[in-house]
Amino acid sequence: MKYSTQLKSLAFALSLAIPFAVQAESSVVTGAGALSTNARVDFTVVIPKILFLRVGAAGAGIDLITFTVPSGSVGNATPIAGTGGDLTGGVVTAVVQANSGTVTLNATSGGALSNGAGDSIPYSQIVTAAATLTTGTILPAPVLANGASGNVTLTPVSKIVNQDARWTYTYANGAVVPAGTYGGVGVNNGRVTYTASMP
């Protein structure tokens, strides 16, 4: 019986102590004159690893850039400006943001632009020029190719990559090619996929 009473007393004491174990730290001082006491709080902030890529309009839409060559200029090496793009005139917003080191950026096409009739235009004829948008470091554009481009390496500052640019596309118009519409919305190798990667 005595053992049972002691066990109950211990259980009661523990039940009183547990709420205090999970409460914030506190301390009390008393006495005359100046008093000082401390209470501490620990903080943790958890930041996830992020990698953000934008080329063109924000959201899920895919921009269409169209080059229409005047009949008197076919193949004369006069660059042709595009239409379309979220900044219009064949110009798009390009952004990469990351917080965990070096980022590589590349572009992949399905091959040369096709007109569906056996004729093609190489992606080397579509030139991308990068210019300042909002950040101090201009985001360089991968050189488009029939297939995969080479990688562009984005060097972080204190593990952070925050680069953007205005990418302006032009058609170099460097050769006379058969008439037709080359590429298109998801057809005839008209789509380029940009990929950002981070370890």
> Any idea what the CATH number is for the domain that residue 79 is in?
2.60.40
Residue 177 Cα distances to 21, 58, 88, 120, angstroms: 80, 34, 26, 8
Total domains, the chain: 1
- Alpha helices for 112-171 (secondary structure H): none
Residue 36 lies inside a defined structural domain of this protein: no
Asked if the structure places residue 183 within a domain, the reply is yes
19 located within any domain? no
pLDDT tens profile 54-99: 999 998 899 999 999 999 999 999 999 999 999 999 999 999 999 9
Q: How far apart are CA 134 and CA 82, in angstroms?
A: 22
Strands 161-171, 152-154: parallel, antiparallel or unpaired by DSSP?
Answer: unpaired
Give the tens place of pLDDT for each residue, 84-139.
Answer: 999 999 999 999 999 999 999 999 999 999 999 999 999 999 999 999 999 999 99
Residue 8 belongs to a domain: no
Domain housing 165: 51-197
20 occurs within a structural domain? no
CA pair distance 69, 55, nearest whole angstrom = 24
111 domain residue, yes or no: yes
Does some domain include residue 151? yes
Q: Can you give the pTM of this predicted structure?
A: 0.83
* pLDDT value of residue 22: 52
Residue 6 covered by a domain: no
Distances (CA, A) of 91 to 87, 131, 180, 183: 5, 10, 24, 18
CA dist 173 to 26, 88, 118, Å? 76, 20, 19
Looking at residue 52, its pLDDT comes to 98
